[in-house]
């Protein structure tokens, strides 16, 4: 019977997490593979999540006075080479247009892997005086980074993101803006994605190509690996000097500005899937779930059931709940499986007996618990249940991250920690050789600094540590 097939189609989450992920993203119709290797098609159910992410984040940007704009996809090759570290970091991933209109182009054009260069060149034109500062813009766009191994949402050659770019008069103000945006991301991840994150500075090795300092937020996935879910960069004057972003300061002196950039991408959808998903499929956080509640009629042909379901749907919609009434021909059991796999936070069951008793049944996707609820005022009950689900999902993920963050004082302990699916906290002396050794020995990387200027010793060489670092295997 169709009822069982869904569960059978998804690989076991505990024994084959990579296959579970692939099954879930394809079978819930979030995404499909594009015809060009490494590209993905974001299908309506997946795109709706992105639209919800975008709406929530955009509101936060607007509240800070950040303006949206749009810059071209094509960047002159010469721009990319102006900032030495930047070009070195991105060269292996850049796709280049050499021909157009049936002719070879005089100058090759890059398809943007990120837009610091083109936005910097425009800022240099627009900024003249300290009165023009700060400048804070954001664009919602696609970018392209040619990747050798790809996975939907996690790593694809083209993805959607937002990239913010700001210019400030002083280093202090630019650094403040960089840190402030990380706070915005962290609050957003908690409130909208029910996703706890670790935030902090990245090592030189892990920082953005061309940045003075990169800050990241890292989330723990179901298998204990880390996923970088967003970054903010303090770029100092690197791009200002490369692109001549100068302003006449109030003291009459021409100065270079200080710039920052920050971004999150469709990778966040991958983070949601791997943070919250379970054996039955997706478990979507209510704030970004395309469908927050689904009504499944039981014995829909019995008198009054269809009408009661429609009326309830209208009341829920009026209450601001994104609701679907599944009145298809499939059996209720089939529908339960389908909507569970799709991760809809609340399922509402309503049949003749419920109707007679003036009740309905609410089933939570996160805990799989069921409870009865009076039909009268059910819209308020569902709305508050959605809040409760957000809280529970966050707390559960936070408890897991706490439980699975261990401390190591030797390389062996670090290896054991990451092999067991943990984040590993350890001292680090700050030298690249020790960081490389961790990678070689434990296939783990430094995710973020938990604390700088610590009194610990380096987990590799035993010398005095300069920072306590969270190491993990990462996506």
Q: What does the binding site for Zn ion look like in residue numbers (CB under 5 A)? A: 429, 434, 458, 460-461
DSSP label of 207: S
The distance of closest approach from Cβ of residue 393 to Zn ion in the complex, given in angstroms and rounded to an integer, is 38
> What span, in angstroms and rounded, lies between the C-alpha atoms of 470 and 454?
13
The smaller minimum CB distance to Zn ion, of residues 79 and 428, is found at 428
> What span, in angstroms and rounded, lies between the C-alpha atoms of 51 and 156?
19
**Residue 387 burial (CB < 10 Å; 0-12/13-18/19+)?**
exposed
> What span, in angstroms and rounded, lies between the C-alpha atoms of 434 and 457?
12
> What span, in angstroms and rounded, lies between the C-alpha atoms of 84 and 90?
10
> What span, in angstroms and rounded, lies between the C-alpha atoms of 271 and 428?
27
The distance of closest approach from Cβ of residue 428 to Zn ion in the complex, given in angstroms and rounded to an integer, is 6
The smaller minimum CB distance to Zn ion, of residues 79 and 449, is found at 449
The smaller minimum CB distance to Zn ion, of residues 257 and 427, is found at 427
The smaller minimum CB distance to Zn ion, of residues 26 and 411, is found at 411
Q: At what angle do helices 171-193 and 267-276 cross, to 10 degrees?
A: 50
> What span, in angstroms and rounded, lies between the C-alpha atoms of 118 and 125?
11
The distance of closest approach from Cβ of residue 452 to Zn ion in the complex, given in angstroms and rounded to an integer, is 15
3-state class (DSSP) for residue 459: coil
The smaller minimum CB distance to Zn ion, of residues 63 and 433, is found at 433
> What span, in angstroms and rounded, lies between the C-alpha atoms of 364 and 422?
28
Report which of 366, 332, 334, 368 is spatially closest to residue 352, judged by C-alpha positions: 332
The distance of closest approach from Cβ of residue 466 to Zn ion in the complex, given in angstroms and rounded to an integer, is 9
Size of the chain in residues: 475
The smaller minimum CB distance to Zn ion, of residues 201 and 225, is found at 201
The smaller minimum CB distance to Zn ion, of residues 295 and 429, is found at 429
The distance of closest approach from Cβ of residue 170 to Zn ion in the complex, given in angstroms and rounded to an integer, is 34
DSSP label of 133: -
The distance of closest approach from Cβ of residue 364 to Zn ion in the complex, given in angstroms and rounded to an integer, is 48
The distance of closest approach from Cβ of residue 194 to Zn ion in the complex, given in angstroms and rounded to an integer, is 37
Report which of 248, 253, 290, 255 is spatially closest to residue 269, judged by C-alpha positions: 290
């Amino acid at each position: 019977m169709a009822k069982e097939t869904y569960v059978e189609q998804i690989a076991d989450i505990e024994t084959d997490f990579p296959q579970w992920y692939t099954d879930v993203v394809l079978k819930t119709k979030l995404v499909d593979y594009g015809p060009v290797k490494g590209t993905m098609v974001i299908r309506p159910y997946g795109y709706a999540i992105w639209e919800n992410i975008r709406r929530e984040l955009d509101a936060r940007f607007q509240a800070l006075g950040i303006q949206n704009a749009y810059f071209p996809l094509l960047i002159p090759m010469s721009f990319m080479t102006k900032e030495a570290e930047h070009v070195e970091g991105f060269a292996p991933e850049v796709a280049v247009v050499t021909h157009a209109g049936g002719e070879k182009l005089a100058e090759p054009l890059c398809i943007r892997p990120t837009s610091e260069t083109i936005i910097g060149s425009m800022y240099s034109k627009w900024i003249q005086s300290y009165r023009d500062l700060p400048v804070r813009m954001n664009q919602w766009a696609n970018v392209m980074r040619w990747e050798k191994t790809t996975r939907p949402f996690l790593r694809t050659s083209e993805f959607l993101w937002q990239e913010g770019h700001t210019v400030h008069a002083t280093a202090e103000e630019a650094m403040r803006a960089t840190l402030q945006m990380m706070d915005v991301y962290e609050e957003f991840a908690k409130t909208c994605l029910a996703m706890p994150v670790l935030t902090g500075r990245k090592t030189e090795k892990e920082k953005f190509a061309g940045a003075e300092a990169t800050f990241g937020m890292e989330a723990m996935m179901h298998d204990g690996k880390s996923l970088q879910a967003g970054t903010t960069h303090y770029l100092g004057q690197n791009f200002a000097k490369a692109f001549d972003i100068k302003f006449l300061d109030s003291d009459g002196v021409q100065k270079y500005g200080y710039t920052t950039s920050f971004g999150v991408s469709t990778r966040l959808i991958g983070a949601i899937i791997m943070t919250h998903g379970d054996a039955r499929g997706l478990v979507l956080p209510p704030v970004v779930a395309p469908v927050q509640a689904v009504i499944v009629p039981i014995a829909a042909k019995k008198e009054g059931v269809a009408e009661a379901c429609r009326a309830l749907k209208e009341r829920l919609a009026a209450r601001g709940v994104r609701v679907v009434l599944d009145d298809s021909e499939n059996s209720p059991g089939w529908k339960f499986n389908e909507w569970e796999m799709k991760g809809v936070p609340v399922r509402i069951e309503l049949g003749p007996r419920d109707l007679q008793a003036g009740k309905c049944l609410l089933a939570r996707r996160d805990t799989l618990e069921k409870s009865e609820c009076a039909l009268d005022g059910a819209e308020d009950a569902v709305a508050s249940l959605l809040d409760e689900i957000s809280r529970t999902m966050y707390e559960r993920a936070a408890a897991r991250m706490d439980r699975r963050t261990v401390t190591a004082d030797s390389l062996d302990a670090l290896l054991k920690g990451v092999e067991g699916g943990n984040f590993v906290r350890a001292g680090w002396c700050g030298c690249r050789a020790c960081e490389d050794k961790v990678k070689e020995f434990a296939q783990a990387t430094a995710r973020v600094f938990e604390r700088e200027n610590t009194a610990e010793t380096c987990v590799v060489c035993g010398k005095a540590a300069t920072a306590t670092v969270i190491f993990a295997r990462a996506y």
